[in-house]
Amino acid sequence: MSAAHRPPAPLILTCGEPAGIGPELAPKALAADVPFVWMGDPRHLPAGTHWAEVSTPADPAPAGALPVLRHDFPAPNTPGRPDLTNAQAVADVIARAAAMAMAGQAGGICTLPISKQALKQGAGFAFPGHTEYLADLAGGVDVVMMLASTSVTPPCRVVPATIHIPLEDVPRTLTPALLERTIRITHAGLIRDFGIPAPRIAVAGLNPHAGEGGTMGWQETDWIAPLCERLREQGLAVSGPHPADTMFHAPARARWDAAIACYHDQGLIPIKTLDFAGGVNVTLGLPFVRTSPDHGTAFDIAGSGAADPSSTIAALRMGWDMARKRAAA
């Protein structure tokens, strides 16, 4: 079988914060019915979990068992109460999985939620989250964070140009270079990983009513609209800047394949409102596939068994689909 048609190696599902809902999502994720192994400390799995240790993602595991790539942690987990002595191991699991994906030992990674606060306090984690950490692990590549729906029509795929920064920093961080880079990485990702040959990209204005012709903010008239026009002249199907509050209802969504938001909540509120259970976080621009559920550690319900696995299942299925596309390319 030629390399072009060899299926990718299974995905690695990283354990995330052991005190969050990750450990109870891991066995539930088997319902995704795609090849993956869970990387973490089996002591953190719910009692009664049917698991089997494997040495590599490609190793077979007994039917119905959660394949475990073991990674020992210093401390057991108490649902809802992160133990900061485990923080470094949380980060190490992500790095180990990324290295295996870059080496071709895994078809990609799907990351269960981390607590950014616990990582920062417990391990001096220097990154806002997985997105920036994985970009650094991949050699400092430019990436974007996309939240993509899987169960609404028309789909909702949103990429915020600025991510985990205080709102007051958004206007000075949102530069023409950053917005153009975000648009181009998104455009390439829609082609490569979503199989959309001619992506349509809608850009949200920063200000209410997209600046109302310059009477409610200057960025749109000063540089966002000229940037969109220049990219259109270069052949990219880029529209906007649009008033953000009328971009996300169904008829509006039908006019684009991805929406570029100016800041985190401008984009994540609509997608998580429309499809919280089916939303998937995708990092575009990495040399390997990375998806993640669209939620966090849910400390308020951790350990209760109430965690909905739908987003993790959607993330694993999307990651596997992307891995197969890349293997066949």
Ligand X SMILES: N[C@H](C(=O)O)[C@H](O)COP(=O)(O)O
Tell me: does residue 120 bind ligand NAD (CB under 6 A): no
Is 77 one of the annotated binding-site residues? no
| Smallest distance from ligand NAD to CB 40, Å | 14
Largest CA distance in the chain: 65
User: In the range 96-115, which residues lie near ligand X by CB under 6 A?
Assistant: 114
Task: State which of residues 207, 281, 283, 291 lies at the interface with ligand NAD (CB under 6 A).
Answer: 281
SS3 14: strand
- Choices 52-60, 132-140, 206-214, 290-298 (CB under 6 A): range interacting with ligand NAD: 290-298
Tell me: does residue 149 bind ligand X (CB under 6 A): no
Residue 131 binding: pick among ligand NAD, ligand X, none (C-beta 5-8 Å cut-off by kind): ligand X
Q: Residue 176 class from Cβ within 10 Å (0-12 exposed, 13-18 middle, 19+ buried)?
A: middle
Closer CB to ligand X, 201 or 315, in the complex: 315
Q: Rounded distance, CA 90 to CA 263, Å?
A: 27
Gyration radius of the chain over CA positions? 20
Question: Which DSSP letter does residue 34 get?
Answer: S
Q: Rounded distance, CA 205 to CA 91, Å?
A: 35
| Smallest distance from ligand X to CB 134, Å | 8
Written as one letter, the residue type at 18 is: P
Assess contact for 25 and 112: CB atoms under 8 A.
yes
Q: Rounded distance, CA 299 to CA 150, Å?
A: 25
Residue 301 binding: pick among ligand X, ligand NAD, none (C-beta 5-8 Å cut-off by kind): ligand NAD
Task: State which of residues 297, 303, 318, 322 lies at the interface with ligand NAD (CB under 6 A).
Answer: 297
Tell me: does residue 295 bind ligand NAD (CB under 6 A): yes
Assess contact for 16 and 73: CB atoms under 8 A.
no
Tell me: does residue 281 bind ligand X (CB under 6 A): yes
Closer CB to ligand X, 131 or 149, in the complex: 131
Tell me: does residue 285 bind ligand X (CB under 6 A): no
Is 209 one of the annotated binding-site residues? yes
Strands 144-148 and 280-284: what pairing?
Answer: antiparallel
For 146, phi then psi, to 5°, come to -110, 135
Residue 194 tokens, joined: 């979503």
Question: Which DSSP letter does residue 191 get?
Answer: H
Assess contact for 272 and 147: CB atoms under 8 A.
yes
Task: State which of residues 308, 325, 326, 327 lies at the interface with ligand NAD (CB under 6 A).
Answer: 308
- Choices 37-45, 243-251, 292-300, 320-328 (CB under 6 A): range interacting with ligand NAD: 292-300
Instruction: Categorise residue 175: left if φ over 0, alpha if ψ from -120 to 50, beta otherwise.
Output: beta
Residue 171 binding: pick among ligand X, ligand NAD, none (C-beta 5-8 Å cut-off by kind): none
Is 28 one of the annotated binding-site residues? no
- Choices 45-53, 61-69, 100-108, 297-305 (CB under 6 A): range interacting with ligand NAD: 297-305
| Interface positions with ligand NAD (CB under 6 A) | 21, 113-117, 130, 281, 292, 295-298, 300-301, 307-308, 311
| Interface positions with ligand X (CB under 6 A) | 114, 129-131, 145, 268, 281, 292, 294
